[in-house]
Amino acid sequence: MNFMRQFVVAGNWKMNGSISQTTGLINDLIVGIKKIGGKVADKIIICPPNIYLPLAQSLLADSPIRLGAQNINQHDFGAHTGEINTSMVGEFDTEYALVGHSERRANYGDDDIAIIAKIEAAQNAGIVPIFCVGESLDQREQGQTQAVISQQIQLVIDALGIGAFVSMIIAYEPIWAIGTGKTATPDQAQQVHLFIRNLLAQNDNTIAAEVSILYGGSVNSKNATSLFACEDIDGGLVGGASLKADDFLKIVQG
Ligand code: PGA
């Protein structure tokens, strides 16, 4: 982690929780963060299911914890049954949105075109996309990691320009590490993070130096410190461990 950049920890709750669990977890986080005092991530973000954003907003009123959406639709209002757009989540002080998460790429049709459109829609609404990239196990084993990551990022540069990365957070999430308990080693993660930063630097050195690149994939309270100690790892996108207040509170301390 480099102090020029923001240290960011985001919790991706995925499709978990209920009104009472959401209330309990958020209240535990609020109390926990107060107790810890100053030594926490510059930005602590939670991404509950969209239906709990209003509840989270009201509970978080005086807290430094920020809100993110797990998914947004790229279109404006209209005939998109079941979808939620950026202005809707924005009404509940949602400042971030995950875009390109591998579960959405694999299971919900978020292809490159949709991902680019979602990044653009989020930014137009003043929401910072947390843009997820990552390779599968097969791709890693075949030595394609850099090619895959480079393609995922280059597509966005080509479509939206390098300037799009000024108001963006990148999350490197190797698919083989998500929800599997097989965390990338700090070295493996650092190598990819540096690769991403160098790729951006080919277009703009300042943007490359300032963008926060989070690691995601089985981050927990035991491995977070060694991952975040790497020069180019600026925090984490945390799934399972973000559902346990004690674990998440340890992770946000770096
Ligand atoms: P995990 O999920 O921490 O449970 O591996 C990370 C993610 O999917 O963002």
67-102: per-residue pLDDT in tens? Answer: 999 999 999 999 999 999 999 999 999 999 999 999
Over residues 189-201, mean pLDDT: 98
Over residues 123-127, mean pLDDT: 97
Tell me which of 135, 173, 193, 231 is the catalytic residue: 173
Write the residue with the smallest CA distance to atom 6 of ligand 1. Answer: 239
Task: Say if residue 230's pLDDT is above 90.
Answer: yes
Residues with CB under 6 A from ligand 1: 12, 173, 178-179, 216-219, 237-241
Q: Please report, for residues 103, 108, 227, 247, 253, the alpha-carbon distance to residue 222 in angstroms, rounded to integers and kept in the order given.
A: 25, 32, 10, 9, 12
Task: Say if residue 38's pLDDT is above 80.
Answer: no
Over residues 221-229, mean pLDDT: 97
Task: Say if residue 2's pLDDT is above 80.
Answer: no
Task: Say if residue 121's pLDDT is above 90.
Answer: yes
Determine which helix (DSSP H) or strand (DSSP E) holds 130, and give its type and residue range: strand 128-133
**Residue 203 burial (C-beta neighbours within 10 Å; 0-12, 13-18, 19+):** middle
CA-CA distance, 174 to 176, in Å (whole number)? 5
CA neighbor of 45 nearest in space, from 56, 54, 37: 56
> Residue 150 — pLDDT band, cuts 50, 70, 90?
very high
Please identify, by atom number, the ligand 1 atom nearest to the C-alpha of residue 103: 8
> Residue 37 — pLDDT band, cuts 50, 70, 90?
confident
Write the residue with the smallest CA distance to atom 7 of ligand 1. Answer: 239
**What is the chain's mean pLDDT, rounded?**
97
Residue 100 Cα to ligand 1 midpoint, Å, equals: 13
Among left, alpha and beta (phi > 0; psi -120 to 50; other), residue 124 is alpha
Task: Say if residue 4's pLDDT is above 90.
Answer: no
Q: Return the C-alpha torsion angle 178, 40, 98, 206, nearest 10.
A: -110
Task: Say if residue 249's pLDDT is above 90.
Answer: yes
Q: Looking up tokens 């300032």, which residue turns up?
A: 210
141 annotated active-site: no
173 annotated active-site: yes
Q: Look up residue 138 and give its two tokens.
A: 């097969």
Q: What is the pLDDT of residue 15?
A: 98
Q: Looking up tokens 């005092």, which residue turns up?
A: 37
| Partners of residue 132 on adjacent β-strands | 171
pTM beyond 0.85, yes or no: yes
Spatial contact of 242 and 46, defined as CB atoms under 8 Å apart: yes
Over residues 157-174, mean pLDDT: 98
